[in-house]
Structure 1
């Protein structure tokens, strides 16, 4: 009798496991389907091909042509290659994913959460060697987050906490003044502020543009 009861209990347990797994499978499939729908759903901000072309043409007329004229007029005669204004900066998708994961991890360890990336416009100036970068425009990414009740681009301070970039410059001035009068702190001796800013993408001018 006891053996029969054991068999009944064992069989009941198996049936419960099977039933549970059958219930979980549709749930997992539903969640997977929802995730796939979320991925394939177009995000806000997607523009049409025609709108993109208009932006490109407007930039040519209102910016690129003026840059070309300006740079050509100041170009040294011995420079062999004619100046071609940059039209885009290319970043590898895998590198961008790694960068986003990296800044999210660093920000979290620093006590905040990155919720946006600011894309700043920049220019390499005359110090960059080589025709691909000299005087050419570029972009760089700055992660932004909430820090101490304020919001802006961030870096990681020497103490490991996230800090606002626009506070860095005033602190840097104070630091330069203090170095002349007092010994540096232990933090400055052993640790350094850490930038989270990304640049150095693949630069144009490309052989062929998309527009």
Structure 2
């Protein structure tokens, strides 16, 4: 191989190495297909049984209570499901993985909290309540913290992304004392300050990772396992 040809291949190799090094290490990549998740897929028959059990054991109680407190005499229809389009779910996964990587923390699980929209047109901060009185859920990513699996958000502390537990029950004074106590991984050493508001990005540098605001039904109704009775 001539010297000219050798130099050409060396330049080509150098260019490829530079291209790889410039790629965003936090970019989300989909996992390779490995079949269904083990022990997590249920049959249609089991889903139907569980759906029917909820219809028989929970719906009547919810309807009776909500109807009893409705001052206008309106009839309440309990939520049967909430849904997101697939693009939103993929975007959410990419988002929380990116934020977790910035804070150098591993996501353990996604925790689904059952919830209820308030019986109001607006939240205290002025945001519109999308589904007043309706049942819903929100999703919280979790991490390891002091031997426990806890939900977390991201805070910027001294210019550094830090994963902090959502449930922080210490006093405000303890919070001021512990705010700067972070280890080399960017995780908190002490859960010592009040939980911040769960807006997307706040003036204090808090980033929420909580997913909500899907579409709940009914109405409109498109139930896969039967009617709402």
Name 2:37's counterpart in structure 1.
Answer: 43
In structure 2, the residue corresponding to 1:161 is in which secondary structure?
A: strand
Going from structure 1 to structure 2, the CA distance change for 1:128 and 1:58 (only over 3 Å counts) comes to farther
Name 1:141's counterpart in structure 2.
Answer: 139
Matched, 1:197 2:192: no
Distance, in Å, in 1 between the alignment partners of 2:104 and 2:146 is 10
Distance, in Å, in 2 between the alignment partners of 1:50 and 1:132 is 33
In structure 2, the residue corresponding to 1:115 is in which secondary structure?
A: coil
CA shift, 1:115, in A, is 2.6
Name 2:221's counterpart in structure 1.
Answer: 207
Going from structure 1 to structure 2, the CA distance change for 1:195 and 1:176 (only over 3 Å counts) comes to farther
How many residues in Structure 1 have an aligned counterpart in Structure 2?
Answer: 162
Q: Which has the larger radius of gyration?
A: 1
- Contiguous gaps of at least 5 residues in structure 2: 3-31, 123-127, 177-195, 197-201
Name 2:182's counterpart in structure 1.
Answer: none
In structure 1, the residue corresponding to 2:42 is in which secondary structure?
A: coil
More helix by share: 1
The correspondence for 2:47, drawn from 49, 52, 55, is: 52
The correspondence for 1:153, drawn from 141, 151, 154, is: 151
Going from structure 1 to structure 2, the CA distance change for 1:78 and 1:50 (only over 3 Å counts) comes to closer
CA shift, 1:92, in A, is 1.2
Deviations 1:67-119, CA, capped at 9 Å, x for gaps: 0111112112265xx31100000011110111011101101111201131000
- Contiguous gaps of at least 5 residues in structure 1: 7-34, 179-187
Distance, in Å, in 2 between the alignment partners of 1:199 and 1:131 is 12
Going from structure 1 to structure 2, the CA distance change for 1:147 and 1:87 (only over 3 Å counts) comes to same
> What TM-score, normalized to structure 2?
0.62
Q: Is the 8 A contact 1:140 1:197 kept in 2?
A: yes
In structure 2, the residue corresponding to 1:197 is in which secondary structure?
A: coil
Aligned positions of 1:57-96 closer than 5 A:
57-77=52-72, 79=74, 82-96=75-89
Runs of 4+ in 1 over 3 A off after TM superposition: 128-132, 147-150, 175-178, 188-191
The correspondence for 2:108, drawn from 115, 121, 124, is: 115
CA shift, 1:150, in A, is 4.2
